[in-house]
Structure 1
C-alpha cells in the first residue's frame, strides 16, 4: 500500500495554509489535474467534497469526508472512489520564529486492476506527491511573499 509523506516550512502562518488546503472550490483554478470540485456538504468541523481528477485519458472522481480542526488539522477519509484504502492527514503547525510547518501524509491502495488500475495509481501518486509544493506556490500567489 503506497504511503506518501511530504512537508514544508513556509513563511505563511498555519491559518493561511489551512485556508488554502480547505478551499476545495478553487482547486480547478490552480491544480491542472483537477477538472471539477463540488462541495457535497459543509460545516465548521466537516466537509464532504467530490473532485474530478484527470490527466490525458485517465479520469476519475473522488469523494472525501474531511474532518477538520480549523487552522490545525484536516483528516481525509474516502466516501467514494477507485480505492480499496484511503486515509490522509494535513497538519498545520505554527513555528515560534514565524511561519508554519505544513505536513501531508496519505496511505492509499487502488481498487482497480489491470492497466486502468496502474494508470490511476500512477496519476494519484503524482498528484499526492506534488500537493505540498503546489500549495506553497499557491500561497505565494494569494498572499504574496512576506
Structure 2
C-alpha cells in the first residue's frame, strides 16, 4: 500500500519542476518549440500574403487571439504590431516587428512582452502547380519566458500549431471565396 502511494504521488507531481537543490537540475530550463508546415492552398501567393499581413484582422479569425493591431507602418516594408493572446483571465500582450517582401515572404520577431523568451515566425509563399494556388512554407520557433507557460503550452502545442494554417485558409475563403483547389499538407 505504501509503495502504491509513493508511485501515485510521484506520477501526480511529476509534471512539477524540481528545484536544483532537490536534484531538479535543468528541469526548469526553457526549451524552444519548433513547428514547420508546408501546404498547398487554392489561393494565389498575393492573396495569402495579404491575409497574413493584415494583422489588424487577426482577432477575427485566429484562435486564442483576442486583440490585434498594427502600431506603426514603416516605409522600409516593416511594421510593428501588438497581439493579445490567451483566454480570460489569462491574456498576455506582446509586440512584434514584422518585415516582408510582397508577395513572397513575411518574417515576425517578438520585440517586447513578458510571455515569450523569443518568437520567430516565417511565411514563405511560392506559386502553386496551377493558377490561383500557393505553395506555403510556414515555420514558428518560440520559447516561453516562464516555465509555467511552457508547461501549459506543451499540453496544447500540437493543437495550436496545427490550427494556424487552416485558420488562414479559412480567412482566405471568407475574403476571396471558394479556393481553386482543396488545401492539403505536403
Which structure: greater strand fraction?
A: 1
In structure 2, runs of 5+ residues without a counterpart are: 1-31, 181-186
Number of equivalenced pairs: 145
- In the alignment, which residue of structure 1 is the partner of 2:40? 9
Q: What CA distance in whole angstroms lies between the structure 2 residues aligned with 1:124 and 1:57?
A: 20
What is the CA-CA distance between 1:117 and the residue it aligns to? 4.0
In structure 1, runs of 5+ residues without a counterpart are: none
Q: What CA distance in whole angstroms lies between the structure 2 residues aligned with 1:134 and 1:127?
A: 10
Deviations 1:8-64 (A, max 9, x none): 101110000000011011111122421111211113510110000123543111211
Alignment of 1:65 with 2:82, yes or no, is: no
Instruction: Quote the RMSD (CA, aligned, Å).
Output: 2.0
Alignment of 1:133 with 2:173, yes or no, is: no
Runs of 4+ residues over 3 Å off in structure 1: 120-129
Provide the TM-score with structure 2 as the length reference.
0.70
- Contact conserved, 2:143 with 2:150, CA < 8 A, in 1? no
**Which of the pair has more CA radius of gyration?**
2
- Contact conserved, 1:110 with 1:121, CA < 8 A, in 2? no
What is the CA-CA distance between 1:103 and the residue it aligns to? 1.7
